Structure 1
Amino acid sequence: MTTAAARATLSTALVATVIFLTAIAPLATDMYVPAFPRVAGDLSATATQVQLTLTTFFVGMALGQLIGGPVSDQRGRRRPLLLAIGLMSVASVVCALTPSIGLMMAARFVQGFSGGWAMVIGRAVIVDLATGAKLVRVLNLVAGVGGVAPIVGPLLGAAILQVSGWRMSFWAVAALGVVMAVAVLVAVPESLPPGRRHDGGLRAFAYAGRQLLGNRRYVGYLLVTGSAMGALFAYVATSAFVLQSMNGLSPGAYSADFAANAAGMTVAALVAARLAGRVPTRAVILTGQVAALAAGVAMLAGAVWFGTPLWLALLCFLVLMSAQGLILANAGALASAEVPEHPGTGSALLGFVQWVAAGIIAPIAGLGGEYTAVPMALLMTAGAALSMIGLLVLARPEA
């Protein structure tokens, strides 16, 4: 073990840096979503082409996490993390300068890939340095404080549009990348000493993957997080249509409600962090799943029989989002605890499954058009139910 690795501790500065890293995805996405109409006009693109820049970003996020975790298990955490942050900043500059929607899609893929790479390594650093209740507490803290980014992102993007063009959003993300790199240099030591690293190559990755997927409880927690993420993105993809097109909510009121729901998820994650070590983590997850299932069923009933009244949609969305604060970080912590010998690969598979679920569910939720909430409600209900199956059946403790 190297001297630096031996001294590596879970400091406040390190946790703050990892929280900063988790903000990459929401900031890189939400800051420029308000500018979609301007992007389409400036780049002579259709609305569908602009929306595809989100899809390429999500695909990149999923692949970046899948590859970045195993690479960091082989090479260590610090250098691959710095490389990923640098690549993300370069891709952001390309987005800011792009003359065409095609180049924008490619740059967004690279931005997502490098951002996912950085996020999974940040999570692996936490797993390297914490175990048990402390791991659960810290991951919930990361999720809770990091949940501020989805609130700030759209507001910051809208503010930028008031004083400048949409390209400035990407310049801002590039600048944040530079700040992240400095934070990593100062606060994140190498947490994986050479003696704990695994040999690289596709064969080693396939071996680690077989070990992980052969662990029934780990697979159960994969289903828990993937299904919960699917339910969450059914809301993200269609809530604007439900609240604005169907119920006449103004864009400002919708933004306020979106922020309130994100705040609900943040508060729930912080409460879960306080409960770590006091209340069984599985019980906290199950509480969130029951709440999410109730929200999905109520939303489905309202969509089928009552025309999706505004008060019901607002309540169901708040409950659904808050429930995710009890589910995602806790299930991720328990999944990591199942595979301590492959923390990077374990985190990579978790991230891959979550972002693949997000990328698949988002377009499906909108298949019914902008004047029905039935597909979204079905996906919310199914996601919550599958998540419960993952916890109670696949991830059940040994007798």
Structure 2
Amino acid sequence: MTTSSQRLSFTLVLGSLAALGPLCTDFYLPSLPELAAGLGTTTATAQLSLTAGLLGLGLGQLFFGPLSDKLGRMRPLLASLFILLLASIGCSLARDISQLLAARFIQGLAGAGGAVLSRAVARDLYNGHDLTRFFALLMLVNGLAPIAAPVMGGALLSWTDWRGLFMVLAAIALLLLVLSVWRLRETLPASRRTPASLFGVYGGLGHLATQRQFMGLCLTQGFSMAGMFAYIGASPFVLQQIYGLSPQSFSFCFAANGLGLIAAAQIAARCSIRFGELIPLKVGLAVAGVASSALVACGVFRAPLPMILTALFFSVMINGLIGTLASSLAMQSQGKNAGSASAIIGVGMFALGALSVPVTGIGGTSVVTMGLTIWGCYIIAILIFTFVVNKKVLA
């Protein structure tokens, strides 16, 4: 980028692409109860549409990430956006829950392209604390998605139904396709691409999986994000059906937590300059453990809604700090294989998130089941960091 305006537009488009994951999951959240009724299915089955999308987001990154190390970033990105457009239309036209689950899985696969390639492009351009700051900037941009998506979705439900929301997603995919062609450029020249065959490129994922500190950081972030996805999947039912919030009120609660995510990411960037990435990451994991424990206690003792929302806020917002720092540390060790490394980070987040969502519905979705799932994910993240990442750093 040669001018500040070009750099800003590049960052905005890149951040929007990184936001495709949360956009595909958060935008239709206020309509989940209506969707379940409209398709004549149960709450737990309707939640599987979220699980299907998250699985697609995870597996799709394993496809698009290594492919971009071989072919460059732009061609896989444009292909993913075109497929996202078609899949979003398919979700809108689904006649039963089975068709919706299939379309949601494909939608997730396609949405993974933007998520994985935005991190790979950032690694093409930056390293060290510059990479941490750029990830924080991306979090600032794509953090608007968890804020705006449910608010927009809740507002649009006043004049359309859940099918209309998926058509809006199709329009967003088309807009991003146009903006990517117009504003982005290839950041991985042919001289830096992986010379191996496609089979060899995908086989290289196994080599990354043997790197202890890299995988420890990926799993630390993955289980932390799984806790947040448990919140995403359970909160519409907890706050709307149990506590009686309207879709619009739920959307504003969701937006407040999104603002917390953005603030925590910016704190992470500032702290990394003074203290490095490891110390703030340790603090963030400790906060996650305390906040999620408080959420469980609120559920067990039937605390009033304001106390639950406060504990939920801190349980969610800390992911902005953990995600920024863990991603930066993991990606800093990977230059040539940035696409593959980004894919492993992404599949950890979304695959583990897909597994955590249905756990919140065991025995009926409630504050207790949501809180216990979030707490369990955070405790696993803390243990992995303590005995895999931190032990390796100290060795």
TM above 0.5, yes or no, is: yes
**CA RMSD between the two structures:** 2.6
Q: CA contact under 8 A between 1:96 and 1:168: conserved in structure 2?
A: yes
Change (3 A) 1:386 1:120: same
The yes-or-no answer on 1:57 pairing with 2:79 is no
How far did residue 369 of structure 1 move? 1.8
How far did residue 142 of structure 1 move? 0.8
Q: CA contact under 8 A between 1:209 and 1:345: conserved in structure 2?
A: yes
- Cα distance in 2, alignment partners of residues 98 and 383 from structure 1: 33
Q: Which residue of 2 aligns with 1:7?
A: none
User: Could you say what secondary structure the match of 1:278 adopts?
Assistant: helix
- Cα distance in 1, alignment partners of residues 240 and 176 from structure 2: 36
Change (3 A) 1:258 1:281: same
Q: Which residue of 1 aligns with 2:387?
A: 393
Q: Which residue of 2 aligns with 1:310?
A: 305
Q: Which residue of 2 aligns with 1:367?
A: 362
Q: Which residue of 1 aligns with 2:288?
A: 292
Q: 1:11-50, aligned counterparts within 5 Å?
A: 11-40=7-36, 42-50=38-46
How far did residue 21 of structure 1 move? 0.7
Q: Which residue of 2 aligns with 1:185?
A: 181
Aligned pair partner of 1:346 in 341, 347, 367: 341
Moved more, 109-118 or 348-357: 109-118
Measured against aligned partners, the alpha-carbon deviations of 1:179-214 in whole angstroms (never above 9, x if no partner) come to 1112211222111112221223334322x2232122
Q: 1:120-135, aligned counterparts within 5 Å?
A: 120-135=116-131
Moved more, 58-67 or 254-263: 254-263
- Cα distance in 1, alignment partners of residues 262 and 99 from structure 2: 35
Q: Which residue of 1 aligns with 2:86?
A: 90
Change (3 A) 1:186 1:279: farther
- Cα distance in 1, alignment partners of residues 188 and 200 from structure 2: 21
- Cα distance in 2, alignment partners of residues 315 and 280 from structure 1: 29
Structure 1 unaligned blocks of 5 or more: 5-9
Moved more, 35-44 or 221-230: 35-44
- Cα distance in 2, alignment partners of residues 25 and 264 from structure 1: 18
Q: CA contact under 8 A between 2:24 and 2:53: conserved in structure 1?
A: no
- AA paired with 1:264? G
- AA paired with 1:341? K
Q: CA contact under 8 A between 2:193 and 2:336: conserved in structure 1?
A: no
How far did residue 48 of structure 1 move? 4.4
How far did residue 329 of structure 1 move? 1.7
User: Could you say what secondary structure the match of 2:275 adopts?
Assistant: coil
Q: Which residue of 2 aligns with 1:326?
A: 321
Aligned pair partner of 2:373 in 362, 379, 388: 379
Question: How many pairs does the alignment contain?
Answer: 391
Report sequence identity in percent: 34
Aligned pair partner of 1:157 in 127, 150, 153: 153
- Cα distance in 2, alignment partners of residues 28 and 150 from structure 1: 10
How far did residue 275 of structure 1 move? 3.4
Aligned pair partner of 1:283 in 271, 279, 282: 279
User: Could you say what secondary structure the match of 2:312 adopts?
Assistant: helix
Measured against aligned partners, the alpha-carbon deviations of 1:16-48 in whole angstroms (never above 9, x if no partner) come to 111111222232333323333444455455544
How far did residue 322 of structure 1 move? 1.7
Measured against aligned partners, the alpha-carbon deviations of 1:335-373 in whole angstroms (never above 9, x if no partner) come to 0112223111110011001101111111112213245x3
The yes-or-no answer on 1:201 pairing with 2:198 is yes
Measured against aligned partners, the alpha-carbon deviations of 1:193-249 in whole angstroms (never above 9, x if no partner) come to 12221223334322x223212211101101210110122123223334544555555
Q: Which residue of 2 aligns with 1:169?
A: 165
- Cα distance in 2, alignment partners of residues 378 and 42 from structure 1: 30
Change (3 A) 1:76 1:355: same
- Cα distance in 2, alignment partners of residues 36 and 24 from structure 1: 19
Q: CA contact under 8 A between 1:237 and 1:366: conserved in structure 2?
A: no
Structure 2 unaligned blocks of 5 or more: none
Q: Which residue of 2 aligns with 1:119?
A: 115
Change (3 A) 1:196 1:230: same
Measured against aligned partners, the alpha-carbon deviations of 1:85-126 in whole angstroms (never above 9, x if no partner) come to 111111112223334433322222111101012210121111
User: Could you say what secondary structure the match of 1:277 adopts?
Assistant: helix
Q: CA contact under 8 A between 1:217 and 1:338: conserved in structure 2?
A: no
- Cα distance in 2, alignment partners of residues 253 and 178 from structure 1: 29
Moved more, 226-235 or 309-318: 309-318
Q: CA contact under 8 A between 2:88 and 2:166: conserved in structure 1?
A: yes
- AA paired with 2:98? G
- Cα distance in 2, alignment partners of residues 319 and 107 from structure 1: 33
User: Could you say what secondary structure the match of 2:161 adopts?
Assistant: coil
Q: Which residue of 1 aligns with 2:332?
A: 337
Q: CA contact under 8 A between 1:292 and 1:319: conserved in structure 2?
A: yes
The yes-or-no answer on 1:144 pairing with 2:140 is yes
- Cα distance in 2, alignment partners of residues 341 and 49 from structure 1: 41
- Cα distance in 1, alignment partners of residues 220 and 93 from structure 2: 40
Q: Which residue of 1 aligns with 2:261?
A: 265
- AA paired with 1:54? L
How far did residue 298 of structure 1 move? 2.0
Q: CA contact under 8 A between 2:58 and 2:109: conserved in structure 1?
A: yes
Q: CA contact under 8 A between 1:160 and 1:166: conserved in structure 2?
A: no
